[in-house]
Amino acid sequence: MWYDKLTVYFLLHAFCKIVVSKNLNIMSTENTDNLENIETEVNNTENGNESVNNTELTVEEQLKEELNKEKDKFLRLFAEFENYKRRTSREKLEMLTTASEGVLSSLLPVLDDFDRALAQVEQSEAKEHLTGFSLISTKFNDILTSKGLEVVKIEKGDSFNADVAEAITQIPAGDDLKGKVVDVIEKGYKLGDKIIRFPKVVIGQ
């Protein structure tokens, strides 16, 4: 029965080959699955890192944007504060000027009286009073000048300018004085650059 033993041998040999082949296939499949899992994990890790980096860049951009907004807000507030300081300084100066203007304007008639009194004393024979009037008038003028009051300079023969003088009448004066100042009836005064009383003049026609 030798051929029976040989048949059994071949059958066992074939069976072993089949088992080994199946084991190899199983191992190969497991290895392939493992490799795929590893690759997936690596890809997920890389994607996660990229996502983190993108998130970090997004946060950085947001911080830069917020910083720019704060800078812009600060610059606007600073500009508004500077404008406020300039405006309040100008208003304060205007208030002081206006207050001085009212006081000085009320003193101009007194100044006119001093000028008329001096002119009257100079024409009279009572020369002994001239020194006293002159001292008082000089001191009074010095005080007003220290407060910023100035005489508007205009003289006979000057061209008439309606921006700095007020014409109260016109008289025939010849070609030389046509359109020019013939006489100054009342002095004009200015406070700084502002004329608080225009000089009254007569012009030629």
Q: What is the pLDDT of residues 114-169, one digit of tens each?
A: 888 888 888 877 667 778 878 888 899 899 988 889 999 998 889 999 899 999 99
Q: Tell which residue, 144, 184, 148, has the closest CA to residue 165.
A: 184
Rg for the chain, CA atoms, rounded? 54
Compute the mean pLDDT over every residue in the chain, rounded to the nearest whole number. 77
Query: Is 183 part of any domain?
Result: yes
Query: Is 96 part of any domain?
Result: no
The answer to whether residue 55 scores a pLDDT higher than 70 is no
Q: What is the pLDDT of residues 17-50, one digit of tens each?
A: 554 454 444 444 554 555 455 556 556 555 555 5
Q: Which residues, 6+ apart, have CB-to-CB distance to 24 below 8 Å? A: none
Query: Is 81 part of any domain?
Result: no
The answer to whether residue 99 scores a pLDDT higher than 50 is yes
For residue 176, the enclosing domain spans: 151-205
Query: Is 200 part of any domain?
Result: yes
Q: Residue 141 in contact with residue 175, Cβ under 8 Å? A: no
Q: Residue 190 in contact with residue 97, Cβ under 8 Å? A: no
The secondary structure of residue 156, as a DSSP letter, is T
Most confident of 70-79, 85-94, 170-179, 194-203: 194-203
> Which one has a higher pLDDT value, 94 or 15?
94
Segment 59-72 mean pLDDT: 85
Query: pLDDT tier at 3 (50, 70, 90 boundaries)?
Result: very low
CATH number of the structural domain spanning residue 175: 2.30.22.10
> Could you give the 3-state DSSP secondary structure of residue 174?
coil
| Domain count within the chain | 1
Paired with 159 in beta bridges are 180
CA distance 93 to 194: 13
Query: Is 175 part of any domain?
Result: yes
Query: Is 190 part of any domain?
Result: yes
* pLDDT (0 to 100) of residue 13: 52
